[in-house]
Amino acid sequence: MSKKHIFFYFITLSFILTGYSQKKYTTFKPGDLWLDNNGKHINAHGGGILIYNNTYYWFGEHKTTGSLGNKAMVGVGVYSSTDLYNWKNEGIALKAVNDTTSMLQKGSIIERPKVIYNKKTKKFVMWFHHELKDQGYAAALTGVATADNITGPYTYINSFRLHPGVLPLNFSKKEFDAVEMIKDRTDKNWKEKVVKGAYFKKDFEVGQMSRDMTLFVDDDETAYHITASENNQTLHISKLADDYLSVTNEYIRVFPGGRNEAPAIFKKDGKYYMFSSGLTGWKPNPGKSAVADHIMGEWTFLGNPCIGTEKEKATTFWSQSTYVIPVIGKKDAFIFMGDRWTPKNPIDGRYIWLPVEFENIKPILKWQSEWDLNYFNNN
Ligand code: DGJ
């Protein structure tokens, strides 16, 4: 190839790449590759959105290719968008570190990061599900990091179990004392004992487990941590401290023995709604929904929110909930954010975003192969 040919080859190539990266999306196509401003599939799994200065910031697990792909080899990624369709890669907000003495070392597990903004302290606060390197999912910790700028860098504070030695608001000392312990799942009346708090009692001194989690900030700026606890059998909802950096002693058990993962909360017309899933690892299962007049309960189960074929209902459109986005400037417009996991090549995981509709007070989801925000005006 002559110099002239090489020159034209590079000009053409950069022309194609520039055009590619500047592609403007005007719709959502759930399950498709979704390219960022650099032309790369968005890498923010198990994510959540923080709206700040009329901009959406999407935080999520930065996955990698290959067998280590679900481990935190990089950290938590962050993207920004003003229209929800087109996303700019803002880099790594919280970095997994090389220091093998740090709990945040590469190879630990960082899942479902969620970020909220504290108006009093003017700090951005990230919480995430954290598992320690080479310990599988045994540690069951929740982690906290904080930053002065929304895109980071976030400074890691700590990871811990929740509420050691503290009883929930809806669980009396009398009930606690009556709890019968269990050895394992073969135990007679296992389920009944779990509902009554056998796993709760096991962890009472060391602190309650915290796996799949989310955060919710109410209209009065009170924030809550919602998590799959008690060996994933029971959800715990905890009120955060005013600075959002720790939990208060105010917490409740929700759906004891209900086996919920992947909680996502939103508020409409003064009611609190929750999407969640069952427990099947990376495989999808039927979605669940619930409603409450107050986030601290009582919660009422509303069943599977999915409307569609048997397969769609059984798999939540082959996805698992992670967050619900309130759309800026549109009243009562909420987007279900789900993950279509691809554990063999985690970086390829897809995003299932669907409009949340309502049948009376029940939130429902219907499959859309392509849709845009006008859907909310027309439906
Ligand atoms: C399901 C959870 O929702 C995911 O976040 C992840 O923890 C997988 N289980 C791991 O199997």
Residues comprising the chain, all counted: 379
Q: 172-231: per-residue pLDDT in tens? A: 999 999 999 999 889 999 999 999 999 999 999 999 999 999 999 999 999 999 999 999
Which pLDDT belongs to residue 67?
A: 78
Which pLDDT belongs to residue 378?
A: 85
Residue in the structure block whose two tokens are 């799994």: 45
Is domain 36-160 classified as CATH 3.40.50.2000? no
Which pLDDT belongs to residue 290?
A: 98
Q: What angle do CA 64, 75, 164 make, to 5 degrees?
A: 125
Q: Is the CB of 270 under 6 A from ligand 1?
A: no
Ligand 1, atom 9, residue with closest C-alpha: 281
Q: Is the CB of 282 under 6 A from ligand 1?
A: yes
At 66, the pLDDT band (50, 70, 90 cuts) reads confident
At 47, the pLDDT band (50, 70, 90 cuts) reads very high
Pairing assessment for the beta strands 334-340 and 109-118 based on DSSP bridges:
unpaired
319 vs 349: CA distance, rounded Å? 10
Q: Is the CB of 46 under 6 A from ligand 1?
A: yes
Distance, CA 288 to ligand 1 centroid (Å)?
A: 16
Q: Is the pLDDT of residue 16 over 90?
A: no
Q: Is the CB of 212 under 6 A from ligand 1?
A: yes
At 95, the pLDDT band (50, 70, 90 cuts) reads very high
- Report percent pLDDT > 90 for the chain: 92
Q: Mind giving me the DSSP string for 338-379? A: EEE--TTSGGG-EEEEEEEEEETTEEEEE--SSB-TTHHHH-
DSSP class of 89 = E
Residue 53, both tokens: 């200065």
Distance, CA 375 to ligand 1 centroid (Å)?
A: 31
At 13, the pLDDT band (50, 70, 90 cuts) reads very low
